[in-house]
Structure 1
Amino acid sequence: MLTTGAKPTHPHPSTPLCDEGSRLYAHALANGRLDRSEAENTPCLLESGLLRPDPDDSQWLRPISPAAALAQRLNPLEREIRDRRRLAVQLTDIFEPFMAITARAEPTSPAITVLENDGHIDAAIEQATAECTYEILTAQPGGGRSEGSLTVALQRGQTVLDRGITMRTLYQHTVRHSQGTLAYAARMAAGNVQIRTLEELIDRMMIFDRTVALIPAREDRQAALEIRHPGLIEYFAKVFEHQWSKATPLLDEVPYAPSTDGITGVQRSIAKLLIEGHVDEAIARRLGMNVRTCRAHIAKIAAALGSGSRAQLGYLIAQSGILDQDRPK
């Protein structure tokens, strides 16, 4: 309950008039005036200037016209809008020269783009293949490829060959034991394609027209980097050419040194990685074979050298001289 003489509470929204003020203003407009006592609980009517004292009788309040009231409220807003538009034009004029500088300096596409998941990676490969005009260089580490990946590669490769584009591909020596990969290579070799193999490749890589390259971004190969930086692409192309010069054409025999004490060239490569401290999984990955095959080769090395333990095997490899022929004379 309100105490005697206290002003009643007048909850007022953010709009110029509360509901009661709007009702009284409409009443004043309809009747030409409003008793001052009726407006005591709506001070917004006087504060906003919608009602003014009657010069002839102070008991009454007279309304101003709605058109005049609206103009009073719109004029400052319109001035503010004009001022802000003027400021926006000034800011645009100030920053336009700077934007022109960055437009000249920045490439039309990002130098490095991160691609996540197979869908985005495959889409980037398809786009780069479609834009390619004369050359594709690829390095594909690992052993034989799956039937599904070979089918996709064959379809993509045939499209490229039909357009007269040359392809050079590097695999690891282990693909020579994969009938599916050999069949794919024979099919592709009928066109403008060259395939060579190396014992080790650094990692997967694709270069299109020496303008765009794709490389893995994570070990699980679920992310890739699309690179369009000329300096980086030139570096990757040089790495590819260096590996290509040391690789062996697929249809030629791999120039392994003759077996020594029953140990083959592949086993010497495994032995070299063993004494460098690599575990079986890392050796298998680097040589493009599965871990079971790698361990079978390690067992044969151990049997040939008479080793009874892994620690002894490393010592016997170092003492046997089987790696001497790999060292520069």
Structure 2
Amino acid sequence: MAGHGTEEHPHGADRLCEAGDRVYSRAVRRGRVSRLDAEPVPCLLDLALLHPDPDDMAWLVPTSPQEVMTRLLHGLYDEVSASRQRMGSAVAAFEWYAGLGGPAPGTVAGEGVAIRVLDGASRIQAALDEATEACTTEVLTVQPGGIRREHELSEGLHRALALRGRGVRMRDLYNHVARHGQGLLNYLELMGDAVEARTLDEVIDRLILFDRTVAFIPANADRTMALELRHPALVGYLGTVFERLWRLAAPLTAPLPDTRIEGVSHREQSIAALLAEGHQDAVIAERLGISVRTCRAHIARLSETLGAASRTQLGVRIAQVGLDVPLGADAVQPSGSTIPERPMR
């Protein structure tokens, strides 16, 4: 009968069938139920929720709900304990298997993950703070963009001060336009000899390199994601790129090279060279760290200085006076460059 009842009512005491719920509830309320009434629900006997009344075998009395609950909880505890034991055995077994192989793909012995994606400002900040705490000798940074705002400089000030306190040397590369920001000048004055800054017309995207062992670069355009790089080849490559840019850059305290063409500023020379390469105004502005509006104002002034009535004519004038060659440590300016006479109008 027990097997037959179980087949018709395949459930446990924690979830009774509808008929079993009615009969067991009645038995609890009344203290007993007739065996005839319990015949349609043999599951109650199979689960020991009802048992014969020793004073009258025609009746069945309920097992107290408190006793049933204790029994259920004890069974669940045994199941959980058994599951935890199986889980521990599985972990131990596969830890042993994992030890049979070499380092996981993408890792370097002693260095952890070679490339790690940092998603979100909080994770990026935490990784930078960790690298700052571990840094002992040198930090190299490239900071593209225009004039550095006070809040941008203050965001990393606590890291810079911590590094200075440990005697770490810092070298920073900026766009030339950053020279005009008082915030940067204040920051460098505060840091003293701990920081050396140089500028270029154009720099690469943002880079922070700690002790030539870990580097951080943006992973998307809006810089909400970053890559943490620890692979020696990648970090070494970025260090070489920085050193070559550093050699070409001008110290922040030194004047910018003269264009040797009267009436043309250094920035206008840079814009002229990029115009000669065929770049649009927005691209030129981004590469030089200035606004598009400022870029167009310089182009208008350059056109007036060179006597160009159109963009096409401006391109010709730029080539004629040698402004199509970018200024730099290796750039050679044509000797005796002069501005051609303005065309007759």
- Do they superpose with TM above 0.5? yes
TM superposition shift of 1:181:
2.3
Classify the secondary structure of the residue corresponding to 1:254: coil
Change (3 A) 1:240 1:14: same
Change (3 A) 1:215 1:46: closer
Change (3 A) 1:159 1:11: closer
Q: Is the 8 A contact 2:12 2:47 kept in 1?
A: no
Deviates more, 1:145-154 or 1:291-300: 145-154
The aligned residue for residue 41 of structure 1 is 40
> C-alpha distance in 2, partners of 1:78/1:122?
43
Aligned residues: percent identity?
40
Q: 2:130 aligns with which of 106, 127, 132?
A: 127
Classify the secondary structure of the residue corresponding to 1:125: helix
Residues paired across the two proteins, number: 306
The aligned residue for residue 180 of structure 1 is 183
Letter in structure 1 aligned against 2:253: L
Change (3 A) 1:230 1:102: farther
Classify the secondary structure of the residue corresponding to 1:274: helix
State the structure with more CA Rg: 1
Q: Is the 8 A contact 1:51 1:61 kept in 2?
A: no
Change (3 A) 1:300 1:229: same
Letter in structure 1 aligned against 2:97: F
Q: Is the 8 A contact 1:139 1:169 kept in 2?
A: yes
Change (3 A) 1:101 1:198: farther
Q: 1:198 aligns with which of 184, 189, 200?
A: 200
Unaligned runs of 5+ in 1: 1-9, 53-59
Matches within 5 A, 1:161-240: 161-188=164-191, 190-240=192-242
RMSD, aligned α-carbons: 4.4
Letter in structure 2 aligned against 1:172: N
TM-score normalised by the chain length of structure 1: 0.71
TM-score normalised by the chain length of structure 2: 0.68
Letter in structure 1 aligned against 2:281: D
Classify the secondary structure of the residue corresponding to 2:40: coil
> C-alpha distance in 2, partners of 1:148/1:44?
72
TM superposition shift of 1:137:
0.7
TM superposition shift of 1:273:
1.1
Change (3 A) 1:235 1:265: same
Q: Is the 8 A contact 1:25 1:63 kept in 2?
A: no
Q: Is the 8 A contact 1:173 1:199 kept in 2?
A: yes
Q: Is the 8 A contact 2:164 2:194 kept in 1?
A: yes
Matches within 5 A, 1:53-202: 91-92=90-91, 94-101=93-100, 104-105=103-104, 106=107, 108=112, 111-117=115-121, 119-188=122-191, 190-202=192-204
Change (3 A) 1:102 1:171: farther
TM superposition shift of 1:23:
6.1
Change (3 A) 1:214 1:45: closer
Change (3 A) 1:141 1:27: closer
> C-alpha distance in 1, partners of 2:125/2:251?
28
TM superposition shift of 1:145:
1.2
> C-alpha distance in 1, partners of 2:125/2:78?
56
The aligned residue for residue 275 of structure 1 is 276
